């Protein structure tokens, strides 16, 4: 913003307003901001498979070389993506599905409407047991989960079929 002053050559009466201390502390130059896909929700008509395929390329899998991408559409219509991130301490890695769920929650959405997972494998790869439980936490039992390969094979199943006998909060109730 500008205020009256005489310090800009060729501009009469205007000069940039100096930033306050608080503005300087929170100022991040444009070149240092994160890409939009990492910081904002996107209301998208893009198929989930396209989103999962693109994020799969960003997976960090130097040990297994098994890259996985996941895309979730929330009930609000926003698309959230995640990829697997390995760690040399092998069990400390994160799955693509868990990353997409974390991105959904971080953005403020809380319910899953649809899931798509893609991996380079001969047959569609289902989520691990932990991710099945995570998906069931935020999705209704009739939500469709699409499992895809990079060769074009796909399989669709519901959350109920993916995780029969799901553990829910009701199991902790005492009658």
Q: Which of 159, 145, 165 is nearest to 52 (CA)?
A: 145
> Looking at the annotation, which residues are catalytic?
97
What is the full DSSP assignment across 106-166? Answer: HHT---EEEEEEEESSSSPPPPPHHHHHHHHHHEEEEEEEEEEETTS-EEEEEHHHHSTT-
Sign of CA dihedral 160, 161, 162, 165: positive
């Amino acid at each position: 913003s500008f205020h009256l002053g005489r310090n800009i050559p060729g501009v009469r009466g205007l000069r940039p307003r100096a930033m306050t201390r608080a503005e300087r502390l929170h100022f991040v130059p444009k070149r240092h901001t994160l890409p939009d896909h990492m910081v904002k929700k996107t209301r998208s008509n893009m198929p989930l498979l396209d989103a999962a395929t693109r994020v799969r390329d960003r997976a960090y899998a130097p040990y297994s070389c098994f890259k996985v991408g996941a895309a979730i559409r929330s009930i609000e219509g926003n698309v959230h993506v995640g990829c697997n991130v390995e760690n040399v301490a092998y069990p400390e890695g994160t799955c693509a599905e868990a990353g997409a769920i974390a991105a959904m929650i971080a953005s403020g959405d809380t319910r899953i409407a649809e899931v798509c997972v893609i991996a380079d494998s001969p047959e569609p790869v289902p989520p691990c047991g932990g991710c099945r439980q995570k998906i069931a936490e935020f999705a209704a039992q009739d939500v469709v989960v699409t499992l895809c390969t990079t060769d074009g094979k796909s399989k669709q199943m519901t959350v109920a079929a993916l995780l029969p006998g799901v553990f829910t909060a009701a199991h902790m109730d005492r009658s």
